[in-house]
Structure 1
Amino acid sequence: MNVKNIILFDQAETTAETYRVEAEKQLKGDPQQTLWNHYSDPSEQFFSGIWQSEPGCWRVSYSEHEFCQILAGHSILRDAKGGEVHLKAGDNFVIPAGFSGEWEVVETTKKIYVIYEPKAAQG
């Protein structure tokens, strides 16, 4: 392993994936989302890249742990009881696995994400 394995996001030639929120999760709007997944580890449990979404609101339910840094825009993250946090450029935060609620994009939002998805327990 050497410095050639380092991934510089601003130099990565990652192909963008564009998609929409699943219809059953949509609460408001039909936001187009774009994902540049710059890194996935061999176990497919750790991911990192850049995500962007147009305005809209949808239900979220996290099985993964996610660190985020908002680069641009304004979003509101609400929990199942209606508590909310406004997220704007410069905000850094972690959403723990088990969180459920709503993600609302008020102004087109762009973020860096780092995700750890634990493997499901074997029974």
Structure 2
Amino acid sequence: MKVQQIQQAAQVAGLEDWGTAGLPGTQPARVTGRQVVIPGAEAVDTGVFECSPGTYRRSVKEAEVMHFLSGSGSFTPDGEKALHFKGGDTMFFEANTEGLWEINETLRKIYVIF
């Protein structure tokens, strides 16, 4: 199949439990998602990601593009000022970008990691 579609990603149900993320002494955020495998491009990680409110460090080492469908919060790259986001915003991360996520309202995003 050359084209894969996630219909109504903002409302799609049945996301898989991906565990929790958090910093010591903080409320852990619940993480769920659905990964989509693109035949012939298995090295590209893409899908739907959802995270409840919480604070945690970004652990993805690859470059990433994400589009927020809903939610709000901020990402503070190490040594830089916070970038605030809400549903409808898009972010681009260089490889090896590290920093702190602060999720205020449950976020849902479409992501592509490459």
Same fold (TM over 0.5): yes
Distance 1:81 1:20 in 2: 28
Residue 43 of structure 2 corresponds to which residue in structure 1? Answer: 45
The one-letter code sitting in structure 1 at the alignment partner of 2:65 is: F
* Map 1:1-16 → 2, pairs under 5 A: 4-10=1-7, 16=15
CA contact (8 A) 1:14 1:36 kept: no
After TM superposition, the structure 1 = structure 2 runs for residues 54-93 of structure 1, keeping only pairs within 5 Å, are 54-93=52-91
Q: What's 1:21 paired with?
A: 20
In 2, distance between residues paired with 1:100 and 1:53? 18
Alpha carbons of structure 1 residues 115 and 14: separation in structure 2 relative to 1, 3 Å = farther
Return the index of the structure with the highest Cα Rg. 1
TM-score by length of 2: 0.82
TM-score, reference length from structure 1: 0.77
* Corresponding residue pairs, total: 111
SS at match of 1:26: coil
CA contact (8 A) 1:16 1:36 kept: yes
RMSD over equivalenced CA pairs, Å = 2.5
What is the CA–CA distance in structure 2 between the aligned matches of 1:111 and 1:74, rounded to whole Å?
11
Where structure 1 has 5 or more consecutive residues not aligned to the other structure, the ranges are 117-123
User: Contact conserved, 2:54 with 2:104, CA < 8 A, in 1?
Assistant: yes
CA distance 1:105–1:41, change in 2 (3 Å): farther
Whichever structure has more helix as a proportion of its residues is 1
Judge conservation of contact 2:50–2:106 (CA < 8 Å) in 1. yes
Task: Calculate percent identity across the aligned residue pairs.
Answer: 26
Report the residue type matching 2:73 in the other structure.
S
Which stretches in structure 2 are left out of the alignment for 5+ residues? none
Inter-CA distance 5–44: structure 2 relative to 1 (3 Å threshold)? closer
Residue 5 of structure 1 deviates from its aligned partner by 3.5
Give 1:60 deviation, angstroms: 1.4
